[in-house]
């Protein structure tokens, strides 16, 4: 609950926050600016108006590392809940961008002190940041300090600075501190729980990009298969195969809604479609589904495999979109000829962090070289960026609580990625649900999108768990309205339970479903 500030605050000027110290760092510059009755607009968020807050911006360096990192902390100056919220990033961006600022504005409007960061990386304006301008010090030499800042160190730095600013401005530290992020932000949340277990009381880690060093190579596998086949299917072929899988498995839950509720129960064989007709706007005249298209889709669903045909990592579920700007089997077609269009996140990971040479021609990669790159990714980056340490007992002992949700139709990070981690954490500590709970959302894409529901109330459920001790057994996922304005509400079940239709009732409301 928010409440008006009654005690006078210190002025929002740089001197209020002067003489701060951060172990291992040196402050370069600090500025404090008061915003009064501010109106702010950011992508994916409504327009915020009437905001009053003190914006504290700080630049600092880790001496000897030749880096410059930036942190912003927004301190509400009229209504404050005595709580702090850290806002995560996306892609290769740590968070100091428009999407993160939208999260900051939302947090401040609800009375939270808010913090976000850039981890010292340039070009944070867009969430689609790529690492070309910072990954390599020179060909063959990765900037490991920069990757370490993104991976972990900056998270601790920003949080400690924010808590110091909160204490100076309000006269006391925040009573509760929360982290809120999805994708990269979800990975950041897991890293905080693993490496800095006492910094946050509650962590919301959506669709976490943990095991980045494995899925980023695994997600490249469909492109690799196309290169091996020297065939690049039309997007319409790939989409026809995905549609056929949905049609075959959609009704297994008793509801026809375009969503595969239980991917493990879907055993559709795409090989049966080879030679079948497909309606294609990409080509003139009739077209048939090719064997190459089936093999590429199988690579998306089955995940990466090595030269011995042994599994390297997981694939996506069968209703995940796999064509489009971020699809794992995207091709670009002109005048009847299609070419590869690999996922940018994966392409840059292989070029800059594994081959360490942006000029390398990945289209000529052999199976042996692909296997070598996967091995290099695991060996060189697990500790610095893998974020998959399953031992969360220190987070448990600090009293922290964490919630993860993940869409089963995620187009980028395999949901099995998160399930694998949670199972490993459970093996370490059978009491895991006492402090960490996982929810899967059928039909939800990567953080949002798709036909399934996003759990907009997840953060409130986390706060209730932290402050009142009431752990959530379900979250309610609400979909984006379709062209007819129809919205689906479904219960997202506490893993390992699954969503089940009760057999009767309105399929658009959560009450018609149970968790079993």
Is a pLDDT exceeding 80 seen at residue 8?
no
Q: In whole angstroms, how far apart are CA 221 and each of 253, 273, 301, 484?
A: 31, 22, 11, 37
Residue 410 annotated among the catalytic residues of the structure: yes
Query: Among the options 389, 406, 410, 420, which is catalytic?
Result: 410
- Of 154, 183, 211, 290, the active-site residue reads 183
- pLDDT value of position 480: 92
For the domain bounded by 3-211+388-476, which CATH number is listed?
3.40.50.1820
Q: Does 127 have pLDDT greater than 60?
A: no
Residue 7: per-residue pLDDT? 60
Q: Is 60 exceeded by the pLDDT of residue 253?
A: yes
**For residue 43, what pLDDT is reported?**
85
Element (H, E) at 147: helix 144-148
CA dihedral sign, ordered 75, 77, 79, 81: positive
User: For residue 468, how many other CB atoms are within 10 A of its CB?
Assistant: 8
Mean pLDDT on 104-125? 90
All structural domains of the chain with their residue ranges? 3-211+388-476, 215-383
Q: What is the pLDDT of residues 444-491, one digit of tens each?
A: 999 999 999 999 999 999 999 999 999 999 999 999 998 888 999 999
pTM: 0.96
Catalytic residue list contains 183? yes
Which residues, including other chains, have CB under 8 Å from residue 153's CB and lie 6 or more apart? 62
The pLDDT of residue 502 is above 50: yes
Q: Is the pLDDT of residue 1 over 50?
A: no
Q: Which residue reads 């809940």 in tokens?
A: 81
> Which of 70, 406, 420, 446 does the annotation list as catalytic?
446
Beta bridge partners of 401: 202
The confidence score (pLDDT) of residue 128 equals 54
The pLDDT of residue 223: 98
Q: Assess contact for 207 and 186: CB atoms under 8 A.
A: yes
Tell me whether residue 282 is one of the annotated catalytic residues. no
């Amino acid at each position: 609950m928010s409440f008006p500030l009654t005690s006078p605050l210190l002025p929002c000027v740089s001197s209020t926050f002067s003489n701060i110290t951060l172990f291992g760092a040196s402050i370069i510059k600090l500025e404090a600016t008061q915003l009064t009755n501010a109106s702010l607009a950011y992508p994916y968020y409504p327009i915020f108006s009437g905001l009053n807050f003190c914006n504290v911006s700080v630049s600092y360096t880790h001496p000897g590392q030749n880096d410059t990192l930036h942190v912003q902390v927004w301190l509400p100056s009229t209504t404050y809940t005595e709580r702090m919220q850290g806002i995560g990033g996306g892609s290769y961006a740590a968070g100091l961008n428009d999407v993160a600022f939208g999260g900051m504005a939302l947090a401040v409007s609800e009375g939270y002190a808010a913090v976000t960061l850039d981890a010292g990386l340039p070009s944070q304006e867009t969430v689609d940041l790529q690492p070309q301008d910072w990954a390599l010090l020179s060909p063959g030499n990765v900037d490991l300090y920069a990757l370490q800042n993104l991976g972990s160190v900056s998270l601790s730095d920003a949080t400690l600075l924010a808590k110091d600013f909160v204490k100076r401005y309000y006269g006391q530290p925040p009573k509760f501190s929360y982290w809120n992020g999805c994708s990269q932000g979800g990975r950041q949340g897991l890293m905080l729980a693993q490496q800095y277990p006492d910094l946050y009381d509650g962590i919301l880690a959506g669709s976490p990009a943990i095991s980045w060093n494995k899925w980023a190579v695994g997600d490249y596998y469909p492109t690799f298969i196309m290169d091996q086949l020297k065939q690049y299917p039309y997007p319409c072929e790939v989409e026809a195969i995905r549609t056929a899988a949905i049609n075959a498995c959609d009704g297994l839950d008793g509801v026809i809604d375009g969503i595969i509720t239980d991917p493990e129960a879907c055993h559709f064989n795409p090989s049966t479609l080879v030679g079948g007709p497909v309606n294609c706007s990409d080509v003139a005249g009739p077209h048939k589904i090719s064997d190459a298209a089936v093999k590429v889709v199988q690579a998306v669903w089955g995940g990466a495999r090595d030269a011995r045909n042994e599994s390297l990592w997981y694939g996506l579920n069968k209703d995940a979109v796999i064509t489009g700007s971020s699809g794992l089997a995207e091709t670009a077609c002109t005048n009847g000829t299609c070419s590869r269009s690999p996922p940018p996140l994966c392409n840059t990971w292989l070029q800059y962090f594994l081959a360490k040479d942006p000029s390398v021609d990945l289209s000529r990669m052999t199976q042996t070289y692909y296997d070598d790159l996967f091995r290099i990714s695991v060996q060189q980056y697990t500790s610095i960026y893998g974020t998959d340490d399953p031992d969360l007992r220190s987070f448990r002992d600090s009293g922290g609580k964490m919630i993860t949700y993940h869409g089963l139709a995620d187009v980028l990070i395999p949901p099995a990625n998160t399930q694998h981690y949670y199972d490993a954490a459970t093996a370490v500590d059978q009491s895991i649900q006492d402090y960490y709970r996982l929810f899967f959302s059928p039909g939800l894409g990567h953080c949002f999108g798709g036909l399934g529901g996003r759990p907009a109330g997840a953060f409130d459920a986390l706060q209730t768990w932290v402050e009142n001790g009431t752990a959530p057994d379900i979250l309610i996922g609400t979909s984006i309205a379709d062209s007819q304005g129809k919205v689906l509400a479904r219960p997202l079940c506490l893993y390992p339970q699954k969503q089940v239709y009760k057999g009767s009732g309105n399929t658009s409301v959560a009450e018609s479903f149970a968790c079993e």
